[in-house]
Amino acid sequence: MKLSFFTLIMVLFAANECSYQEQHNIDIITYETFTRGSSTMYTVSPESIKIKGTGINAGEKSGTISNQDWKSLLEVLSKVDASRLNQLKAPSDSRASDAALHAILSVRKNDTIYKTNSFDHGNAPITVKPLVEAILRLAENVE
């Protein structure tokens, strides 16, 4: 009985460590919005957030993020299976008639980039919506 309980605890600990380690292999999270003639790219790494715009929003801004901000993003991202990002369905299609900007979320993990299909900026698939909102909140503080 003691042996099986100990084994169960070790398995749970190992699973938690794998999940923790898996999240720490994430190098960059990118959120891009675009339409004809302009785009904005938000790039978040463990140390910084960079915002680069073209067209009407031309220019670059960057700022540092705290270790806690990065950990918070990873916590939100832990609820998402990065390898299935390309299978998410957009809840609306306003971008097809230029009523909304196109948006794409990507995650670079272990030198592999996982991307969503295009969706409407402001109406992300429910699975990634908290992550997109967290990125945009961080971007509000960049000057």
Answer yes or no: is pLDDT of 15 > 60: no
The mean pLDDT value for 97-106 works out to 95
Domains belonging to the chain, first-starting first, are 26-140 (3.30.1560.10)
What does pTM read for this prediction? 0.81
pLDDT of residue 24: 57
Pure H helices in 1-143: 2-24, 67-77, 129-140
User: What band does 11 get if pLDDT is binned at 50, 70 and 90?
Assistant: very low
CA proximity to 26, closest of 97, 89, 76: 76
pLDDT of residue 98: 87
Collapse the DSSP code of 8 into the 3-class scheme (helix H, G, I; strand E, B; otherwise coil) and give the result. Answer: helix
Q: List pLDDT tens digits, range 27-68.
A: 999 999 999 889 999 999 999 999 999 998 799 999 999 999
- Please state, rounded to an integer, the average pLDDT across all residues of the chain: 87
The mean pLDDT value for 124-142 works out to 96
CA proximity to 119, closest of 143, 92, 140, 98: 92
Answer yes or no: is pLDDT of 90 > 50: yes
